Chains A and B, each alone.
Chain A
Amino acid sequence: MKLAPPLLALLAIGACSKPADLVVYCSLDQVHSEPIIALFEKETGLHVEAHFDVERNKTVGLVNRIFAERKHPYADVFWNNETAHTIRLKRAGLTSAYSSEQTQGIPKEFRDPEHHWIGFAARARVILHQSETQEFPTLVHEIGQSPVNSVGAMAAPLTGTTLTHFAVWSTLFGRKAVLTWLKTARDSGLGITSGNADAMRRVCEKDFPWCLTDTDDAAAAQDNGFDVSVHYPGQSKEFPAVLVIPNTVCILNGAPHRAAAERFIDFVTSASVESYLAKSRSQQIPLRPGVEVPFGRPQPHIDFAMLTIDWEAVATELEALSPEFKKLFLR
């Protein structure tokens, strides 16, 4: 009989869960996404159950969970901080189409043609350098290709935006060229870190004069009081634009709360949320034309041009290249 109380307690605890009006799986940093979700709750009166992933797992946790839950979907919305996994979910038939007047406001190059996902608030791939450093690569192509451009760092292209970056490169320049380029970079003495935030930290700690990273990591370094500056690579005649990787949001197939999910998509892709994220510590880049960027920060389309990407092709390249990159960098 001594076992009865804990077992009964277990059942009682289980019975106490409060049902949600909407379940959101979110891989954007909790510190940035939580206030937006709270704002949505306040505006709509809906109770949102938000689940977060962590960057250490490179968002693999929630994506695996969506796959595992496919027969009985638990979540309604997946808010991803990049594009590749969202397209992977779409290809597996786990997303559902949605389009509205609100989502049409996002430029079409950042939306799925079949309306399965919508991009918003992006990060750019940039060179972060110590402010006193004058010598750093001005183009991504130069990284690790000469002794002077091999003294910095970049993340191994095994996960995250660096993997996406070189999948994009592959769609632009071909697989062979990218693999050759990466092999040269790997063997050049370039610092290879496991993530962009790690590369950023090492620049802050003055281990490296510069690194290839994302704008949100660069913003965190500046916000933490380090004397570092950001260079947007490209802007030349040959390479006129910068790679930006948007957040993506999609409704999951069989979402238990479809109507609430649609309201959430409209809310999160709105100009006000893009503006909020642009002003936040992560300094996301708004994709909607006309959304204000705080004074002093580079203005998209004015201070830098953005590459136009075929994201479906990128997802294909990413799956094909991932094993090759693993052979190169996971040794």
Chain B
Amino acid sequence: MPLARLTRITSPWWFLVLLVTLVISILPLSALFKPLFDGSSLQTLLDPRIQNLLKDTAQLSGTAAALAFLVGLPYAILVWRFQIPGAFYFKLCAPLPLLLPPLLLAQAWHGLTGWDAAWMTSFTLGLAYAPLPALLAARSLQNQSAASHEAALLAGGPRRALWEMFRTAIPGAVFGSSLVFIFTSTDFAVPDYFATVGDKFSVYAAEVFHQFRDQDWTAGARASVPLVLLGLIVLAGSMQVERKWGAPDFGTGRRAKPLRLTKKYYRIGATLLALIGALFLLLLPLSRILWETGAGGPLSDGTWLSRSAEGFSAAFNRGRADLLRSLGIGLAAGGITLVLAPFWAHKLLHSSSRKKQFILLFLSLPLLTPALGLGISAIYVFNQSSSHFFYSSIGLPILVYAGRFLPIAVFLLHERFRRNPPEQEEAATLAGVSLITRIFRYHVGPHKAAWLLAGALVLAFSVRELDLAILLPASNASAAVRYFNALHFARDNFVAAFGILMVLILFLPLMIYAAFHRARHD
């Protein structure tokens, strides 16, 4: 019996998953549907000014996505598939840039290089989001089957083996890069910053922002339609790449171990390359940010150290409560996606191409819609006399964030689930194993690291979310609002110190876990 038919067996769990997904993904958006699907929104595309803005945005985002791919993929291969000195620390560095607000990185890069103009937007955002393709590629590489790797090595030597690594990692990296494209195309702050420090240029996200500001909010929603479409095209394209390149790799047995480079020069070269990657991804901008915690003008009082200490003290005292609150909201949102994402990844696995596209649209809408629009729509939906209590509670941001970032977790897990042998689930289904067990034991089980990464990404993006944090009552007292509020007013020491504190608080549990994990294995 074909597996597709077997999965059609009705399950009460599916109703529940669908219901919860509708509540977190579609319900908050529902007030936007009319303006979002209003045909007149596409008429603006006839305006040459709008066409130019869209063209520039697509170019800029495409360049950022390409850069993230070109940096992230080789970095993942070097660090996860080769035995190089310090690999453990290079791996630890990889997710860190995702925890830093891109605007802070933009300021750091400008401070370091003095460069500006539109291409610096692509450069900064490409590097800021390069961990996405790197981490997604790394998850694939960690599970590369030893059999396919050894076969490649025997058949074509190291080159063929290297190609096999690329082939294994490309679908994940492409999906990561498509996310980079989406985040870059909707970013207003970083292009705005580089347009400020250099020659003036504009992006389409600025047009959306000004429509929200000048007109009624439905005009903003209508203006965002081209960006939503652009994002959908890119996501659909990345799924095509995954279908073409992500040939199932049924490596449930032995996994390929990191390669030992026998020649000393190769080892030194690979380490240097990884070091350069880590420098650009994290160490250079982080050093600059650290320096800014104590930087001041020529007439400043005190030393660098005293100013830096003051910055950290202010950040800790004023921002501690907000940081913990953001962390709590992010953890809860991440927790919800950890439950829901495996179901949807499993559904995608067993869906026809057309159905898959529909699910893609259904799940991606909250991510592709500008946060400003999503937040306003959520206000219209939940600020009713009957739901006023929930509206003012922390439950609302948790719900909206979970819905917004759910597709990231779903697509990441879908890429992993494709590598599981279908016979295993088919046999389990015939043996009467429940849907829950099949999903969580046979699919999530072998990919626990990817599953946790999905939750961690949702946590990181929730903590960084600004527009929704301003709009939803219970999330206003958040790290993102405090950080950006201070950023405006030249509180440079505080801003830099608070940025570093955000990274530390988010990253410390992971570092401690990694250190213990390593000690146990050693």
Contact = CB atoms under 8 A, between A and B. Distances in A.
Interface string A176-218: 0000000000000000111101101110100100000000110
Interface stretch (B58-66, B143-151, B415-423, B478-486): B478-486
B436 interface: yes
Contact of B332 (A9, A72, A201): A9
Contacts of B392: 17, 74
A217 B490 contact: yes
Contact of A29 (B16, B375, B379, B488): B488
A65 B467 contact: no
The size class of the interface chain A forms with chain B is: 35 or more
B405 interface: no
A185 to B, nearest CB: 13
14 contacts: A14-B396, A29-B489, A51-B470, A56-B189, A57-B466, A61-B375, A65-B470, A71-B383, A194-B193, A204-B297, A216-B489, A226-B297, A326-B210, A330-B206
Contacts of B217: 64, 67-68
Nearest to B31: A68
B243 interface: no
B388 A13 contact: no
B336 A6 contact: yes
A-B complex: 3 closest residue pairs judged by Cβ atoms: A225-B300, A225-B297, A55-B488
Contact of A31 (B20, B216, B491): B491
Interface in B288-346: 296-301, 318, 332, 335-336, 339
B376 A68 contact: yes
Contact of A224 (B16, B52, B385, B492): B492
Interface string A15-29: 111000000000001
Given A14-B390, A17-B389, A217-B490, 15 more contacts: A2-B436, A17-B392, A17-B474, A31-B485, A54-B488, A55-B488, A55-B489, A64-B212, A68-B380, A68-B383, A71-B383, A204-B297, A220-B491, A225-B298, A225-B299
Nearest to B302: A225
Nearest to A331: B202
A3 to B, nearest CB: 6
Interface string A34-78: 000000000000000101111111101110110111011010000
A225 B300 CA distance: 4
Given A74-B391, A329-B200, A3 B214 contact: no
A14 B395 contact: yes
A235 interface: no
Interface string B382-426: 011100111111111011000000000000000000000000000
Given A11-B395, A64-B376, A30 B486 contact: yes
A152 to B, nearest CB: 14
Interface centre among B200, B216, B394, B396 (most CB of A within 10 A): B200
Interface in A209-241: 216-217, 220-221, 224-227
Interface of A: 2-3, 6-7, 9-11, 13-17, 29-31, 49, 51-58, 60-62, 64-65, 67-69, 71-72, 74, 156, 158-159, 192-195, 197-198, 200-202, 204, 207, 216-217, 220-221, 224-227, 282, 319, 322-323, 326-327, 329-331
Interface of B: 13, 16, 20, 49, 52, 103, 189, 192-193, 195-197, 200, 202, 206-207, 209-210, 212-214, 216-217, 296-301, 318, 332, 335-336, 339, 372, 375-376, 379-380, 383-385, 388-396, 398-399, 436, 466-467, 470-471, 473-474, 476-477, 481-482, 484-492
A68 B197 contact: no
A58 B213 contact: yes
B490 A200 contact: yes
A194 B121 CA distance: 15
Contacts of A207: 197
B217 to A, nearest CB: 6
A2 B396 CA distance: 21
A170 B473 CA distance: 37
Contacts of A159: 213
A104 B301 CA distance: 41
Contacts of A217: 489-490
A53 B485 CA distance: 7
B296 A224 contact: yes
A126 B72 CA distance: 46
Nearest to B340: A3
B292 to A, nearest CB: 11
Contacts of B300: 224-225
Given A2-B436, A72-B384, A201-B490, A64 B394 contact: no
Given A3-B16, A68-B379, A13 B298 contact: no
